[in-house]
Structure 1
Amino acid sequence: MKQLALQEASQALHEESRTEVDIIDFYNQATEDYKFWSNDFNMHFGYFNPLKTNPFRRDQMLNEMNRQVLNRLHLPNKGLMADLGCGMGGSMRYALKKNENLSTIGVTLSEFQVDEGNKLLKGLKGLILKENYNKTSFISNSCDAAIAMESFCHSGHDKSSFVEAHRILKQNGRLVIADAFLKKEPQELCRGGFYAYKNLCDHWSLPKLGTIHNTIVDLKNVGFKNIEVEDVSFKVAPSVLHVPFAIVGFMLKKLWKNRTLKKESLHNLKGSFYALLSSLHMKSFGYYLITCTK
């Protein structure tokens, strides 16, 4: 029994390491492609607000998502915000330009994102570190707020991500998660839903997606309180509908320049397509904004 347990633990560790390597390779090679998706390198979907955004202007909706997330943080005039899985720091730059007294720190596994993201943050009070958001070097109780925008999915919405977010936050500090979740267990998905889910995970290097129910339970067990869950799928849908046009436009641009598509770019494009396909299964998938307090 002991030998079997050791084998299982070793296999789990190997799977975790392989997934992390896949994520690093994916983002090191494909991040520059996101310039086509967003001029500000916002590596997430957008939020349609009829009073503030034009559904035909993608960057406007992407920055509106940044605004919606920041509004839920109730940030003090002066403080430290952590971006757990910050990509190129698009959300950090947005926050810093809106609040000059704010400081931000972000983490990513991609060396490319660290180097290029810190160049974009030059002159602003922000820094990106090459770290795993499940095991940061941040001092406990040091951050006033934290965000995770479509990043915790890369840990499969594992409880360890919530534990680390809780550790680094000050008392009464807020965490806002913006991400897609399953509404039911994978084995309960219909055939089409499971097909879209499997391919989405494969092409975007996701170990899995958590269910919204289990995520709420995990957040409570970790110690978060005042958990507010908003299904914003319909608000996000207009930006998701940009996906097929972005894919076609990106491919035509590459072909026009006589450049072949990198393997990582192809995976990114296919993952985007399956994200669109998944969004059509509204009984199985949803996009949520989750706000909670330490």
Structure 2
Amino acid sequence: MTMETLQPAGVAGPDTATSPSPIGDYYDETVVDYGVWSREGYLHFGYWRPWLNPFSRKPMLEEMNRVVFRQLGLDHLPEGQIGDLGCGFGAVARFGSRLYPQLEFHAVTISPQQVAEAQRRHADERVHYYCADYHRLPLPDGALDGVYFLESLCHSTRPDEALAEAARVVRPGGRIVLTDGYITRPLHQTSALFQHVVKAVAHNWAVPMFHEIELARRWTGQGRLQLIDQFECGWRLGPSALHAAHLSAWHFCKLLLRRDVSAWQWKHLVGSAYTIALGLYRRYFRYHILTFQRNDRP
């Protein structure tokens, strides 16, 4: 698949009949707030390993990028096209384009503000941005060699449909990596206090509800995908998640001095403040990386 056949969709908004507007509104209105977490534009949690400084977020955030890329098998691709579905400001795709200069990255977000900000920040990178819903991708069949959802599939109420669409645009044998937090059982089987905590995070981050891990393991992308690898890494996220406490307190003080703070900005702050408590509920909440492969043949 050559680049001439893959054209970015520009900054026009996605089809309003299908786009989940609260999610777009949330990300449109919290562009500045996420800058508190990462100047580079990362929106995800970091991955700690031995010899990484737990007091420095950037190395841990970029280590998470590397973990996802290893699961995709990018080290073994001499060339190719990679999709970042739910890309935020495109920081992960930008990092990937520098780490793997032989690859082209295609980054999709439902937020026009994120597309505009990503293009402003990374105009000279080998990354192509699309303002679109990842349930209806503006890409042809088999266009990509791999796809990742980095803390983005949690926004979908139709995850298997989103995976089926990802499988459509991935070539046979290509991989799809999901990185996210999952509840370990149906919500009604958890404690009342946990339900309060998880809802405080999810609803304030425009997440309908985190998916159940046992259901996620059985996703097939409507019959086109096979789960080939999985592992839980919640403790690896702990050092970066702890940064949320002082950052939330500092950002709260800054917001108090402003008059133009939106409702979503306050909600984002509340959700961030609850993340540490959520991560400590290991009985009911875990962080997993799942790797699927498109299992049909050309």
Structure 2 length as normaliser, TM-score? 0.88
Task: Report the residue type matching 1:46 in the other structure.
Answer: G
Give the match for residue 60 of structure 2: 61
1:134 maps to 2:114? no
CA distances 1:206-247 after superposition (whole Å, capped 9, x unpaired): 112110110111137532224211100000111111111110
Give the match for residue 12 of structure 1: none
Give the match for residue 293 of structure 1: 293
Task: Report the residue type matching 2:119 in the other structure.
Answer: N
Using the alignment, how far apart are the partners of 1:204 and 1:226 within structure 2?
Answer: 28
Give the match for residue 275 of structure 1: 275
CA distances 1:237-279 after superposition (whole Å, capped 9, x unpaired): 1111111111012223445xx3244322111111112222211
Using the alignment, how far apart are the partners of 1:244 and 1:69 within structure 2?
Answer: 26
Q: How does 1:225-236 map to 2 (within 5 A)?
A: 225-236=226-237
CA distances 1:44-85 after superposition (whole Å, capped 9, x unpaired): 00000113x210001111111011111111121211000000
- Is the CA contact (8 Å cut-off) linking 2:47 and 2:236 kept in structure 1? yes
Give the match for residue 244 of structure 2: 243
- Is the CA contact (8 Å cut-off) linking 1:157 and 1:209 kept in structure 2? no
Larger helix share, 1 or 2: 1
1:98 maps to 2:99? yes
User: Cα distance, 1:17 vs. partner?
Assistant: 6.7
Distance 1:155-1:275 versus aligned 2 partners, 3 A rule: same
CA distances 1:70-105 after superposition (whole Å, capped 9, x unpaired): 111112121100000000001001101111111011
Give the match for residue 259 of structure 1: 258
Distance 1:165-1:220 versus aligned 2 partners, 3 A rule: closer
Distance 1:60-1:253 versus aligned 2 partners, 3 A rule: farther
Give the match for residue 80 of structure 2: 79
Task: Report the residue type matching 2:61 in the other structure.
Answer: L
CA distances 1:159-213 after superposition (whole Å, capped 9, x unpaired): 1111111111111111111100110001111111111122222211111211011
Distance 1:103-1:18 versus aligned 2 partners, 3 A rule: closer
Task: Report the residue type matching 2:36 in the other structure.
Answer: F
User: Cα distance, 1:18 vs. partner?
Assistant: 9.6
Match of 2:155, SS state, is helix
Using the alignment, how far apart are the partners of 1:156 and 1:61 within structure 2?
Answer: 29
Give the match for residue 28 of structure 2: 28
1:167 maps to 2:162? no
Give the match for residue 7 of structure 2: none
Using the alignment, how far apart are the partners of 1:103 and 1:32 within structure 2?
Answer: 28
Structure 1 length as normaliser, TM-score? 0.89
Give the match for residue 144 of structure 1: 145
Using the alignment, how far apart are the partners of 2:158 and 2:99 within structure 1?
Answer: 29
Using the alignment, how far apart are the partners of 2:228 and 2:36 within structure 1?
Answer: 35
Using the alignment, how far apart are the partners of 1:216 and 1:47 within structure 2?
Answer: 22
Give the match for residue 4 of structure 1: none
Gaps of at least 5 residues in structure 2 are 1-15
Match of 1:127, SS state, is strand
Task: Report the residue type matching 2:98 in the other structure.
Answer: K
Gaps of at least 5 residues in structure 1 are 1-15
- Is the CA contact (8 Å cut-off) linking 1:19 and 1:205 kept in structure 2? no
Q: Which is worse superposed, 106-115 or 116-125?
A: 116-125
Identity over aligned residues, as a percent? 27
Match of 2:219, SS state, is helix
Distance 1:124-1:147 versus aligned 2 partners, 3 A rule: same
- Is the CA contact (8 Å cut-off) linking 2:217 and 2:227 kept in structure 1? no
Task: Report the residue type matching 1:170 in the other structure.
Answer: R
Match of 1:44, SS state, is coil
Q: Over the residues paired in the alignment, what is the CA RMSD in angstroms?
A: 1.8
Task: Report the residue type matching 1:74 in the other structure.
Answer: G
